[in-house]
């Protein structure tokens, strides 16, 4: 499973000289980010051929897709 670490822990995590599992566990415990923010994005992200800002812009259509609005 991937771990998303705080940038201050990147160098330690990528240091090949650190092999002690206990030391690596400390890096994970102290460096992992728990309060990530996320939001729905467009389905454009599903294809590598799409490489523009629309891939990460908020897509509110997915949030409201289960609701029927009066027209």
pLDDT of residue 16: 96
pLDDT recorded at residue 64: 53
The verdict on pTM exceeding 0.85 is no
In the chain, where are the structural domains located? 1-34, 38-71
Other beta carbons less than 10 A from residue 68's beta carbon = 6
CA distances from 63 to 13, 18, 39 (A): 36, 44, 9
Spell out the per-residue pLDDT of the chain, length 71, in tens. Answer: 678 999 999 999 999 999 999 999 999 999 998 888 887 887 888 888 988 887 888 766 654 555 565 54
Q: Which two tokens stand for residue 41?
A: 């994005």
Residue 22 CA: distances (Å) to CA of 1, 27, 43, 67? 18, 9, 40, 49
pLDDT for res 38: 80
């Amino acid at each position: 499973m991937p771990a998303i670490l705080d940038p201050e822990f990147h160098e330690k995590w990528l240091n090949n000289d650190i092999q002690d599992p206990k030391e690596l566990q400390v890096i994970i415990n102290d460096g992992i980010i728990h309060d990530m923010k996320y939001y729905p994005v467009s389905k454009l992200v599903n294809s590598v051929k799409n490489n523009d800002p629309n891939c990460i812009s908020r897509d509110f259509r997915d949030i409201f897709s289960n609701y029927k609005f009066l027209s």
